[in-house]
Structure 1
Amino acid sequence: MAINLEKGQRINLEKSNGSKLQNICVGINWGAIEKKGFFGTKKEPVDLDASCAVYDENKRHIDTVSFRQLKSNDQAIRHSGDDLTGDLNGDDGLDNEVITVDLTKLSPSAYYLGFFINSFRGQDFKDIPFASIRIYEGTPTRVQEVFAKYDIANDKAFEGSVAMVLGVFYKRNGEWKFNAVGVPTADKKLEQTVVTIQQNHL
């Protein structure tokens, strides 16, 4: 049974059978904006960009996986590719962008993995009809077990924002845990959000 995460909640990456998650998918799903006009409703494509920034034990930034760089230097983190539109015909239940992490292949220097979203065209989060994140085991095309999920749209806190920090995987005593951050930031660019996570969320 998947955990419905609340902001600020911290969880161990342990499955229902007691084993640890090793291959993790972080999937983001979102919808196109509906604009009502004289001639009915028009769909406006939404380009959200999911990214993962990697930091070492001293919180130094060492790598970023995004639509610009689809693989981490250690090959452990991979991005499914850029989705420029979102779901145009309502929620299809599928992720628009997926970042996969193989914890067994991560560089030993990786201590924090910060996941975040930037609205590439500057579209306000309050206008996006739905957006959610889920953490699951499997591959981008085959979901084995959904571990946790949370809704990141329809929150008044996101009004006026075009970037948000989703959450941070962090290593403690050799074990990986997850902190569901879920907060908007004032950043306009991906590089700024990398710094925001470094300063405020590790």
Structure 2
Amino acid sequence: MAINLEKGQRINLEKSNGAKLQSICVGINWGAIVKKGLFGNKKEPVDLDASCAIYDENKRNLDTVSFRQLKSRDGAIKHSGDDLTGDLNGDDGLDNEVITLDLSKLNPAANYVGFFINSFRGQDFKDIPFASIRIYEGTPTRVNEVFAKYDIANDSAFAGNVSMVLGVFYKRNGDWKFNAIGLPTADRNLEQTVVTIQQNHL
């Protein structure tokens, strides 16, 4: 049974059978904006960018995976590629961008992995019909078991923003945990969000 995460909730990366999650997918799913016009509705593509940044125990940024760099230098993190539109015909149930993370292959110096979203064209989150994150075992095209899911839409706190921090994986006493953050930021691009996470969320 998936855990429905709430802001600020922290969870252990442990399944019901006691095994720890090692290979994880973080999937982002979102919809295109529907605009009403004189001659019917018009679909406006939405380009959200899912990214993650890796930091050491001193909060120094070691690496960043995004549409510009689809693989971490240690090979532990891979990005499925840039989706420029979102779901144009309603929610198809599939993730538009997926970042896969193999905790066992991470650089040993890595202590935090922060996930975040930026609206590349500056489209306001309040106008996007749906957007969600889910953490699951599987591959970008196959979901074995959803471990946790987090709805980041339908929240007035996101209005007026184009960037947000989804959550941070962090290491404590050798074990990895996850902190669901789900907070908008005033950042305009991913470079700024890397710094925001570094300063406020580690």
TM-score normalised according to structure 2 size: 1.00
Residue 162 of structure 2 corresponds to residue 159 of structure 1: no
Residue 169 of structure 2 corresponds to residue 186 of structure 1: no
The whole-number CA distance in structure 2 between the counterparts of 1:71 and 1:90 is: 29
- Where do 4+ consecutive residues of structure 1 move more than 2 Å? none
Equivalences for 1:10-159 in 2 at 5 Å? Answer: 10-159=10-159
Structure 1 residue ranges without an equivalent (≥5): none
1:91-127: CA deviation from partner (whole Å, max 9, x where unpaired): 0000000000001100100000000000000000000
Residue 176 of structure 2 corresponds to residue 176 of structure 1: yes
Residue type of the partner of 1:185? T
Q: How many residues align?
A: 202
Deviation of 1:154 after TM superposition, in Å, equals: 1.2
Matched position secondary structure for 1:157: helix
Q: Corresponding residue for 1:7?
A: 7
1:139-187: CA deviation from partner (whole Å, max 9, x where unpaired): 1111110000011011000000000000000000000000000000000
Structure 2 residue ranges without an equivalent (≥5): none
Deviation of 1:193 after TM superposition, in Å, equals: 0.2
TM-score normalised according to structure 1 size: 1.00
The whole-number CA distance in structure 1 between the counterparts of 2:19 and 2:49 is: 31
The whole-number CA distance in structure 2 between the counterparts of 1:85 and 1:141 is: 18
1:36-84: CA deviation from partner (whole Å, max 9, x where unpaired): 0000000000000000000001000010000000000000000000000
